């Protein structure tokens, strides 16, 4: 039988697998709110495993195998998104209004996107509004809470496992290790902010360009769940610029000028935050500067950009200056290996 040009018979399995993955991606993107949730992201990974499980059928060139893999992946993604949303809604209803340590009043459950390590993950409001950078660690709920002592809003990151919120006493050994790492990270950020706040001109006041961790509550013997208290650091830079541009009724030329001014201001703020790290004793390198690690806060009435995620920070030496560390390759300087 004659074959059409461009595709050899032995390449059909590869094409089928690629097409299935593309269709799966489109299906998941069609459920935007679900994909943004941590549970659905994990389901996407499991769905990918389903594709591999059906690879033999796909490689045999059977259309039925391709349809089966796609249907299973889509169904599991929908089921997981629904279960995850219901669980979050249950916690929202059960804990809203709760006061932790007699001080932090939980008002709104925010939605966390899973991020590996001790990063400040992207957070977005439960209602599906713009993403926010809050909290450290990859397992936990972040709440917008009223701090009765500060008389202001803060972010309260409550740690949980797959079933419930956890305290030090109820945590497993692995969970306790994560709690220790989160406590260590919070303390490190506090030390940086304390040292930076003592700097004189021209760096005086530049700590406002670093997103802060106010306190950790992971101590033993407490019945309440373990949690961190963090600065409500604002929205990500994409939303800050795009939403601001959409809200302005101006000409394209004016919007272009506004965009350039906004971008210039963000760059200046980021450089001020970096100057704090580089003028510590010993100096530190953030080593993971990228758009995801910059947020924009307007809580003071004047929008400012803040640096987040100090998990990749390193003492600046001749060796570390050329170390790739865990920085993103797309934003890594060319001289770094």
Answer for the pair 230, 213: CB distance below 8 angstroms, yes or no: yes
- Burial class of residue 182 (count of CB atoms within 10 Å of its CB; 0-12, 13-18, 19+): buried
CA distance 141 to 123: 10
CA distance 122 to 113: 6
Structure tokens at 262: 């906004």
157 in a labelled binding site: yes
Beta bridge partners of 297: 304
For residue 164, the 8-state DSSP code is S
Pick from 122, 224, 88: which is nearest to 168 by CA? Answer: 224
Q: Which two tokens stand for residue 5?
A: 């040009």
271 HSE (CA, 13 A, CB side): 7
Buried b or exposed e, range 316-337, using 16+ CB within 10 angstroms = beeeeeeeeeebeeeebeeeee
Give one DSSP letter per residue of 76-87, joined into a string. Answer: HHHHHHHHHHHH
- Nearest Cα to 276, choosing from 186, 191, 193? 193
Tokens of 77: 């993604």
85: CB partners within 8 A, 6+ apart = 33, 34, 37, 39
Q: Which residues are annotated as a binding site?
A: 157
Q: Which residues are annotated as a binding site for ATP?
A: 157
């Amino acid at each position: 039988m004659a074959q059409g040009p461009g595709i050899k018979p032995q390449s059909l399995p590869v094409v089928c697998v690629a097409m299935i993955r593309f269709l799966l991606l489109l299906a998941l993107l069609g459920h935007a709110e679900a994909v943004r949730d941590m549970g659905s992201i994990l389901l996407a990974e499991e769905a990918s495993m389903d594709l591999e499980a059906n690879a033999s059928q796909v490689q045999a060139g059977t259309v039925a195998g391709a349809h089966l893999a796609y249907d299973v992946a889509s169904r599991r993604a929908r089921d997981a998104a629904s279960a995850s949303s219901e669980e979050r809604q249950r916690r929202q209803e059960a804990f809203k209004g709760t006061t932790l340590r007699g001080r932090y009043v939980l008002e709104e459950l925010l939605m966390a996107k899973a991020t590996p390590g001790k990063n400040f993950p992207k957070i977005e409001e439960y209602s599906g509004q713009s993403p926010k950078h809050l909290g450290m660690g990859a397992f936990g709920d972040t709440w917008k809470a009223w701090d009765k002592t500060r008389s202001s809003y803060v972010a309260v990151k409550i740690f949980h496992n797959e079933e419930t919120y956890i305290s030090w006493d109820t945590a497993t050994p692995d969970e306790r290790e994560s709690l220790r790492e989160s406590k260590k990270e919070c303390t490190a950020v506090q030390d940086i902010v304390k040292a930076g706040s003592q700097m004189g001109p021209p760096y005086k006041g530049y700590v406002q360009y670093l997103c802060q961790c106010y306190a950790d509550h992971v101590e033993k013997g407490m019945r309440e769940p373990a949690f961190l208290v963090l600065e409500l650091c604002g929205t990500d830079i994409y939303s800050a610029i795009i939403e601001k541009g959409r809200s302005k009724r101006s000409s394209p030329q004016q919007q272009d000028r506004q965009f350039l001014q906004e971008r210039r201001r963000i760059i200046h703020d980021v450089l001020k935050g970096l100057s704090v790290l580089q003028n510590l004793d010993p100096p530190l390198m953030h080593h993971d500067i990228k758009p995801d690690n910059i947020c924009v806060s307007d809580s003071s009435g004047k929008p400012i950009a803040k640096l987040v995620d100090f998990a990749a920070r390193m003492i600046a030496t001749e060796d570390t200056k050329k170390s790739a560390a865990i920085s993103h390759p797309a934003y890594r300087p060319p001289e770094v290996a």
